[in-house]
Amino acid sequence: MTGAVLSALLGHWRRNPLQLFTLLAGLALGTALWSGVQAINAEARASYDAAAATLGEGSYGQIVARDGGEIGQETYVALRRGGWLVSPVVEGRLGPVRIIGIEPLTAPRGVGPLGLGEQADLGAFLTGEGQIFGRADTLAQLAETGARLVDAPDVAPATAIMDIGLAQRLLGREGRIDRLILAPDQPLSRPALSTLAPDLVEAARQDGGDVARLTDSFHLNLTAFGLLSFVVGLFIVHGAIGLAFEQRRPMVRTLRALGVPLRRLIALMALELVGLGLVAGLAGVALGYAVAAALLPDVAATLRGLYGADVSGQLTLRPAWWLSGLAIAMGGTAVASAGALLSLARMPLLASAHPRAWAMARGGVRLAVLAVALLALAGGLALWGRGLLAGFAMLAALLVGGALVLPPLLGQALRVAEGRATGVLAQWFWADTRQQIPGLSLSLMALLLAMTANVGVSTMVSSFRLTFTGFLDQRLASELYVSASDAAQAADIVAVAGAGVKAILPILSVEAKAASQPVEVYGARDHATYRDNWQLLRSFPDVWDRLAQGEGVLVNEQLYRRGGVDLGALVAVSPRLTLPVLGIYGDYGNPLGQVIVNEAVFAGQFPDVVALRFGLRVDPSEVAALRKTLRDQAGVPESAMVDQAAIKALSLSVFERTFTVTTALNVLTLAVAGFAMLMSLLTLATMRLPQLAPVWALGLTRRKLALLDLVRAVVLAALTGALALPLGLALAWALLAVVNVEAFGWRLPMYLFPLDYLRLGGLALLAAALAALWPAWRLSQMPPVQLLGVFRNER
Amino acid sequence: MNVKLALAVLLLLPLQAAAQGFAGLGTDAEGFTTPDPATVLEFPADHGAHPDYRIEWWYLTANMTGPDGTDYGLQWTLFRSALAPRDGYGWDTPQLWMGHAAITTPDAHFVAERLARGGIGQAGVTATPFAAWIDDWTMQGDDFDTLRLTASGPDFAYDVGLTVAGPLVLHGQNGYSVKSAAGQASHYYSQPSFKLTGTLTLPQGEVVVTGSAWLDREWSSQPLGADQTGWDWFSLSFDSGDKMMGFVLRGAKDYTSATWIGADGRTEALPDGAFTATPLLEHRVAGRTLPVEWRVQLPAKGVDVTVAALNRDAWMATSVPYWEGPVTVSGSHAGRGYLEMTGYDD
């Protein structure tokens, strides 16, 4: 019996291949975007973890120089001889590759590549030409050093690990160390760090690493996109399953009348859904892999540019990811079909097999109340909420509330239009449109969410770009930036460049703590470059004069917000000096707090710090010549000189990458929403025949009816878009003013981009029209006998 | 003897005990200087390091007593292991160092280990004035006769002074000590007569101790035969004032050697077979079974004693693990000493 029932059930899909396709495609598309985004996030997190694990950053404390500079090797030996169990690390870059030198004998367990595999051979690692561990693509980027290259997939991307001796040699930093890893078990007693090495400080252990924290909001953005697409996909699936079950009611009644137990029938239908979910899930995961593989290089470039986080550009297939993709597809199927199965279970044996109930029975009032409550909650959170979590709760309330409020608003708008309509045809058009709202509401909500996300995210990204490029223009006022390797070279640079440039601006900085935040203290020379170019967010009058007199400091927005230091508040520049805040400046693209003091004040507080970086003011046409002079006469390598144009180009290319990712995700969500609409319209098309047939019989041609259908879809999309715009702007505001401030510590001004919105609106209308085109064309081509049949079969 | 351990090389090379002896000590001496019976040891120069030999150690063990009569044992060891037969400056040097320190009480055993590269000053040995160090662990003095010894671990520390009370002892033939029938050998001498006073720091608090210490010095390039898998080594100080050192190298055929040190300071090297050690009682520690009570016989000197561990769980859970702890002696002679057992696989 089971076989016969199953074949009867499956027969439905054979007769309705389009429905089957809708179901599978909806689920697969939703799963694809969700799992694609998850794959990208998983890859990035794995990269951060690998980086942290390689360096023991997450597991062990660190000791660093108080001024953030390097540590002499003799200091390391002095600490060891004093009983401190520390292990030295030297770091640097050779072109695109991050070089890390470790000392394997003293490194705590789990640090470095030894133990990564069978290839570890201490003798080969330490002596002779040495060994370099890294991923194959990283090793390929290294110049020939004579060292044996060892392919180690566990090493973080773009990172090469080797013995400290080899690393110091390659980086040209013999005898220098960047930081010390502190072993977890220290001997019973040892002298204080301040006694042995007063210039060093213990840095707190950072769980998960800075990078993971910094990039969290970026990944949250991606996750939100993925979830949104998945929800849109579920709308489609829900529609398809609901319709299929409705249409099978007569069959179910017949089967049950023939003696099939309800329990078995439900079990078989559930089994059928599991099979479909599995197929769609697999297709979705495969598709998601393709999406992720296509986007990952751009995402990786963005992360590297924005946060300096190295993320592998290559996707690894992780079993957990496959399984979670399948699981969410199955879960989605369950959610989407629960209602249909439940109503089937409750169906009386001899109930009417009337399939019209489906499109009408969406209860409106309760949902409308819920929608208003959610929007109120969003407003409340915007006004009084604190913290990142509140920010995201607000986003969720805003989006869900906005989606739920759509059907009642549409109904209201159509009712108004109907009231104002003159002429019977117009009245019928509006009434008929309103009557279709319940059947279309899910796909319209999907369209609303897609458009809202589009408006919100593109406004945020565009605002960020506009602000950031403006900020770069102000901040990168010097034409050429030069880094010296040591004080002697710094003196050479000043001597060599001194003659030919308009000004040399030394960039002095140390790491410190202010307002209980880690900050960088900068010493700035009093020069017109700063006065002319820097725009302060807020300041006292005569701020530049007072700064030049050493009467106060400037702080960046991050420190102002996180440390709560407003204008006039006192900031401890060093343990010996506290100065008031004279001004606050915007500082984008940097997670840390900053304090700027006058050059003389800086020299008084940090006499040991010499400027190793310089901004050179020079006529733009002379930059190339100056580079050559510095290279030939001061021995400055090309890699230590960056001109303004190059920095700007680099920053902008990062944004182009971000845009590519955002645009791709926008188009994909919009496409999914358009597909949802197409499927809803196809579903409605057959069911609406009883309503259309009388109008046709009254003399309206099929062509005219089809045209009206097309217009209707566009009108509905336009009305949806009208709601999506304010909702999207609210989303953008929340991202810029709430989420960004919490995540990065800066608040970006919001810019509006009406042309973009117009284009998006046009795109949405086009999507709706395209979605409506095929059903309308089918209507225009419908044989009259089918319409007549409505009257013949009238029940 | 003390064909003690070598080193860090072995941490990462798979331990092929059967093919290469315990801890790689049976590997070829390629490129390294090999011990020569014609060599005449010269002091103080030979207290220092011999980088052209593959392995070398400064190995001190001590039996001590606290104010309440409790017995304690102490170990301070510095191993040198060369990846290549040369010295060097900076990270480039192939000389690696390993330190082991331990305190044994009747019911606890505290162990710590340190590793270091040569060439940067973190570890090393100088002959005059004498200093051997790794990190904050030191054995140093103006000369070899008065030394200060310190070490510390996460849960223990010690700081003791050593004063010489007898002459150096050269093992084997003027310090040339044969280790197998195939002729493997090492340069090996001891200072078995240090008087010790100092302080142990234990989790319970500080303990003032007095006692005696035994320092072994040995260097070689291939001290074990390929078939030799481990050894049992005894250093015993009898109440009569006599001392003896004896070891069994376990291999296809056991090889034994012993040195008798009379109370008057005269020494006598005894050949293979003169010394025997028979397990009496086995004990399970760290997943292995080891003899912790022995019958030790040296008929030529009328020695027939039972040697029993003060603490049966004196397991050195270091990179290359072994058993090392204080023992008490009873039978024909009474006294105390140290026992080392290596190469007992789990």
- pLDDT tens per residue, range A49-64: 666 666 555 567 788 8
- pLDDT tens per residue, range B251-284: 888 999 999 999 988 899 999 999 999 999 999 9
What CA–CA distances, in Å, run from B243 to A399, A741, B240, B305? 88, 78, 9, 13
What is the sign of the dihedral through the CA atoms of B77, B78, B82 and B86?
A: negative
- pLDDT tens per residue, range A66-100: 776 789 999 999 999 999 999 999 988 887 788 88
**What's the rounded Cα separation, in Å, for the pair A422 and B42?**
122
Contact B250, B230 (CB under 8 A): yes
Q: What pLDDT band is residue A439 in, cutting at 50, 70 and 90?
A: confident
Q: What pLDDT band is residue B76 in, cutting at 50, 70 and 90?
A: very high
Enumerate the residues of chain B whose CB falls inside 8 A of the CB of residue A166. Answer: 91
Q: What pLDDT band is residue A33 in, cutting at 50, 70 and 90?
A: confident
Q: Write out the H or E segment, with its range, that includes residue A194.
A: helix A193-196
pLDDT at A309: 62
Enumerate the residues of chain B whose CB falls inside 8 A of the CB of residue A119. Answer: none
Cβ neighbours of A511 (radius 10 Å): 17
> Helices A17-55 and A644-687 sit at what angle, rounded to 10 degrees?
150
3-state secondary structure (DSSP) of residue B271: coil
Q: Write out the H or E segment, with its range, that includes residue A5.
A: helix A2-15
Inter-chain Cβ pairs, chain A and chain B, closer than 8 A: 82
- pLDDT tens per residue, range A578-595: 899 999 988 775 667 889
B229 pLDDT more than 60:
yes
Enumerate the residues of chain A whose CB falls inside 8 A of the CB of residue B112. Answer: 187
Cβ neighbours of A694 (radius 10 Å): 13
Q: What is the mean pLDDT of residues A417-441?
A: 87
Q: What is the mean pLDDT of residues A768-777?
A: 88
Q: What is the mean pLDDT of residues A28-47?
A: 78
Of residues B3 and A771, more confidence is placed in A771
For residue B304, give the nearest of B225, B252, B236 by alpha carbon. Answer: B236
Give strand pairing partners of A508: A523
The residue type found at A728 is: G
Residue B203 C-alpha, separation from nearest chain A C-alpha, in angstroms: 10
- Cα pseudo-dihedral A663, A667, A669, A674, rounded to 10: 160
**What's the rounded Cα separation, in Å, for the pair B112 and B212?**
22
Topology adopted by domain B43-341:
AttH-like fold (2.40.370)
**What's the rounded Cα separation, in Å, for the pair A633 and A496?**
7
Angle subtended at Cα B14 by Cα B12 and Cα B19, rounded to the nearest 5 degrees:
140
A761 burial level (CB within 10 Å; 0-12, 13-18, 19+):
buried
pLDDT averaged over every residue in chain A: 80
Q: Where are the domains of chain B?
A: 43-341
Contact A138, A159 (CB under 8 A): yes
What CA–CA distances, in Å, run from A222 to A336, A454, A730, A791, B172? 24, 13, 19, 52, 76
**What's the rounded Cα separation, in Å, for the pair B314 and A734?**
65
Helix H segments across A248-314?
A: 249-257, 262-307
Of residues A239 and B205, more confidence is placed in B205
B38 burial level (CB within 10 Å; 0-12, 13-18, 19+):
exposed
What CA–CA distances, in Å, run from A159 to A72, A95, A155? 24, 11, 7
Contact B1, B257 (CB under 8 A): yes
pLDDT at A731: 85
**What's the rounded Cα separation, in Å, for the pair B211 and B162?**
10
- pLDDT tens per residue, range A495-530: 888 777 888 888 888 877 777 777 888 888 888 888
**What's the rounded Cα separation, in Å, for the pair B93 and A336?**
69
**With an 8 Å Cβ cutoff, are A187 and B201 in contact?**
no
What CA–CA distances, in Å, run from A301 to A44, A154, A658, B109? 11, 20, 9, 55
- pLDDT tens per residue, range A241-287: 777 777 787 888 888 888 888 888 888 888 888 998 899 899 988 98
How far out from the chain centre does Cα B274 lie? 21
Of the ranges A32-36, A141-145, A579-583, A638-642, the best mean pLDDT one: A579-583
The two structure tokens encoding residue A376: 């109120």
Q: What is the mean pLDDT of residues A741-749?
A: 71
Detail the DSSP E strand segments found in A47-185.
61-65, 71-72, 86-94, 97-102, 131-134, 148-151, 159-163, 176-177, 179-182
Interface confidence, given as ipTM, is 0.90
- pLDDT tens per residue, range A119-137: 456 777 887 788 898 888 8
Give strand pairing partners of B53: none
pLDDT at A767: 84
- pLDDT tens per residue, range B96-113: 999 999 999 999 999 999
Angle subtended at Cα B251 by Cα B245 and Cα B257, rounded to the nearest 5 degrees:
20
3-state secondary structure A653-680: HHHHHHHHHHHHHHHHHHHHHHHHHHHH
Task: Determine the residue of chain A that is closest to B203 in CA distance.
Answer: A188
The two structure tokens encoding residue B46: 């030979």
**What's the rounded Cα separation, in Å, for the pair A23 and A240?**
6
Of the ranges A189-203, B25-39, B131-145, the best mean pLDDT one: B131-145
The pairing of strands B335-341 and B322-331 is antiparallel
**What's the rounded Cα separation, in Å, for the pair A125 and A107?**
14
**With an 8 Å Cβ cutoff, are B8 and A122 in contact?**
yes
pLDDT-above-70 percentage for chain A: 85
Interface test with A, best of B87, B93, B136 (most A CBs within 10 A): B136
The residue type found at B251 is: G
**What's the rounded Cα separation, in Å, for the pair B151 and B60?**
12
pLDDT at A208: 38
**With an 8 Å Cβ cutoff, are A188 and B155 in contact?**
yes
Q: Which residues of B touch A (CB under 8 A)?
A: 8-9, 11-13, 83-84, 90-92, 94, 96, 112, 115-117, 120-122, 133, 135-136, 152-157, 201
- pLDDT tens per residue, range A629-645: 888 888 777 667 777 77
Contact B23, B316 (CB under 8 A): no
Contact B231, B187 (CB under 8 A): no
B11 pLDDT more than 50:
no
pLDDT at B213: 96
Enumerate the residues of chain B whose CB falls inside 8 A of the CB of residue A106. Answer: 115-116
Q: What is the DSSP string of A124-147?
A: HHHSTT-EEEE-HHHHTTSPP-SS
Among A616-630, B65-79, B144-158, the least confident range:
A616-630
Task: Determine the residue of chain A that is closest to B90 in CA distance.
Answer: A165
Going by the DSSP 8-state scheme, the letter that residue A330 receives in this structure is H
Residue B323 C-alpha, separation from nearest chain A C-alpha, in angstroms: 23
For residue A274, give the nearest of A327, A325, A322, A333 by alpha carbon. Answer: A333
Cβ neighbours of A129 (radius 10 Å): 11
Q: Write out the H or E segment, with its range, that includes residue A707.
A: helix A702-733
**What's the rounded Cα separation, in Å, for the pair B294 and B155?**
31
The residue type found at A476 is: L
Among A224-233, A540-549, A762-771, B28-37, the least confident range:
A224-233
Q: Write out the H or E segment, with its range, that includes residue A778.
A: helix A754-780
Q: How many residues are given for chain A?
A: 795
**What's the rounded Cα separation, in Å, for the pair A31 and A285?**
6
- Cα pseudo-dihedral A712, A714, A716, A721, rounded to 10: -170
> Helices A249-257 and A262-307 sit at what angle, rounded to 10 degrees?
150
| Backbone torsions φ then ψ of A588, nearest 5 degrees | -100, 145
- pLDDT tens per residue, range A346-381: 777 665 555 444 444 445 677 788 889 998 998 898
**With an 8 Å Cβ cutoff, are A168 and B91 in contact?**
yes
Q: What pLDDT band is residue A204 in, cutting at 50, 70 and 90?
A: low
Residue B121 is nearest to which of A77, A120, A190, comparing CB atoms? Answer: A77
How far out from the chain centre does Cα A752 lie? 21
Q: What is the mean pLDDT of residues A561-568?
A: 84
Helix H segments across A421-522?
A: 424-475, 487-498
- pLDDT tens per residue, range A148-180: 888 887 777 778 889 999 999 998 888 999 889
The two structure tokens encoding residue A608: 């040991």
What CA–CA distances, in Å, run from A604 to A598, A609, A610, A680? 10, 10, 12, 73
**What's the rounded Cα separation, in Å, for the pair B2 and B217?**
8
Interface test with B, best of A103, A106, A119, A127 (most B CBs within 10 A): A127
Q: Write out the H or E segment, with its range, that includes residue B251.
A: none
The single residue listed with the structure tokens 């199955």 is A330
Angle subtended at Cα A771 by Cα A400 and Cα A221, rounded to the nearest 5 degrees:
35
Q: What pLDDT band is residue B3 in, cutting at 50, 70 and 90?
A: very low
The single residue listed with the structure tokens 């919490």 is A742
pLDDT at B5: 34
Residue A187 is nearest to which of B83, B115, B153, comparing CB atoms? Answer: B153
The two structure tokens encoding residue A711: 């217009």
Enumerate the residues of chain B whose CB falls inside 8 A of the CB of residue A121. Answer: 12-13
pLDDT at B113: 93
Q: What is the mean pLDDT of residues B229-251?
A: 93
Q: Write out the H or E segment, with its range, that includes residue A619.
A: none
